[in-house]
Chain A
């Protein structure tokens, strides 16, 4: 029971006693004063009633508020449920979109493989003799097919690289084997462009780190591809694997990919990791590219809690560095 209600009970009891005395014949007070006091008592008795009644009104108002709150709460719950459904639909749509991209890529890659293989076999005279002039056209056709394939690959990579860190699958991976797999894909391109490749690797059988192998190989692939692409004919690219910081408190591996190619103008240095940015001299040199590769690489390296940076001098070449920690959960 609330304190003010008890107080009203005491007051009411006190007033009853007073009324009893006032109404008694032995009371010393006169009739006028008695009437005045009785009116006061009446007011005192009515007042709590009025207060109680208004309290009921307030209580009724409270109930209305509560009903309102309940219905608002229901509305909120419905909205939350609707949002959850939307979120699930969005996630589903994202899966659908990724699925669509993957299946479209597959659909496009199959005829492109046929075009690429045919042109390359003709160029190599594996399907009969070809004149020098015909070879030139075949080479252009082959380069064009290669550009479409590269664009599709970047498209796939770009979709993958939008993932958050919790969508990464970090597994113990031998980085030296991973690098070998990446390099194997460039054998033909190196032969074609006459760019020489030197690999400096540590003197050890394997180098295990926790990476998402598919995504991390995209980074190496992109850096090596850029190095070849922006090299001059018969240029030299170097790929180094540095393990000096392997026994430090925060063990990490560094990959260095350098070329002696066209370099990046100083004015473009701050923009090089921006999405769809392409350096003016790369565009001038008519070197194909979507401008997505480095922004994807940066994202992937950062999701690995690593760092990526570069040094470059226009006309002299570019060196990219990627540092990746050995452990993902002890960082």
Chain B
């Protein structure tokens, strides 16, 4: 249950969702950094040096797809794991996010924050995607 300590950058414009996610991840033992829009996300990532980014797609101004492209184009950030965490979930959105370099795609409404926490634990703990419970 106890994960390797790390810092998670939450890029989320909805204040309530952002605070719930931050609270849950802090409970899990992670340090949390936040960005409230796409424009600031890359700068926050460069400053905060997170271990993983939880990225919303629909953001004011620069959207999550563009943030992802900028992260992948940045030498310091290009290997940073990015989990897209959005309520968009059509095939086109998933494909677009994968093309832009997302490591995973979670639809918010279909998961609980416990699932997200264990997904992050799995990814950071084992250095790869969590094996599904079977």
Q: Which of A105, A190, A214 contacts B133 (CB 8 A)?
A: A190
- Complex contact B58–A106 (CB within 8 A): yes
Q: If the complex has contacts A109-B109, A124-B114, are A102 and B133 also in contact, measured as CB distance less than 8 A?
A: no
Measured between alpha carbons, how far is A199 from B132 in the docked complex, in Å? 11
Q: A109-B87, A120-B113 are in contact. Are A197 and B134 (CB under 8 A)?
A: yes
Q: Contacts A110-B17, A117-B20 given: A153-B110 contact, CB under 8 Å?
A: yes
Contact (Cβ within 8 A) B134 A116: no
Compute the total of residue contacts between A and B using a CB distance below 8 Å. Answer: 86
For chain A, residues 79 to 130, give those with C-beta under 8 angstroms from any C-beta of chain B.
102, 105-106, 109-110, 112-114, 116-118, 120-121, 124, 126-127
Assess the B111–A126 pair: CB atoms within 8 A. Answer: no
Give A153 to B90 CA distance when docked, in angstroms. Answer: 10
A184: Cβ under 8 A from any B Cβ: yes
Interface assignment of A188: CB less than 8 Å from any CB of chain B: yes
Instruction: Please name all residues of chain B whose beta carbon is closer than 8 Å to the beta carbon of A197 when the two chains form the complex.
Output: 133-134
Residues of B within 8 A of A117 (CB): 17, 20-21, 24, 112-113
A113 in contact with B87 given A120-B114, A121-B20, A149-B109 (CB within 8 Å): yes
A180 within 8 A of B: yes
A114–B113 touching, CB < 8 Å:
no
Given contacts A183-B133, A188-B112, contact A126 B27 (CB under 8 A): yes
B108 to chain A, nearest CB (A): 4
> Given that A110-B108, A120-B112 are known contacts, is A184 also in contact with B90, CB under 8 Å in the complex?
no
| A-chain residues with CB within 8 Å of residue B109 when the two chains form the complex | 109-110, 112-113, 116, 149, 152-153
A3 proximal to B (CB < 8 A): no
Contact B108 A113 (CB under 8 A): yes
- Please tell me if A169 contacts chain B, counting CB pairs below 8 Å: yes
Nearest neighbor of B94 in chain A, beta-carbon distance? A214
Partner-B contacts on A (CB < 8 A): 102, 105-106, 109-110, 112-114, 116-118, 120-121, 124, 126-127, 149, 152-153, 156, 160, 169, 180-181, 183-185, 187-188, 190, 197-199, 212-215
Write the residues of chain B forming the contact surface with A, with a CB cutoff of 8 angstroms. Answer: 14, 16-17, 20-21, 23-24, 27, 58, 87-91, 94, 107-115, 118-119, 130-134
A-B contact pairs, 13 of them (CB 8 A): A102-B90, A110-B108, A113-B17, A114-B17, A120-B114, A126-B23, A126-B24, A180-B132, A184-B115, A184-B132, A212-B91, A213-B91, A214-B91
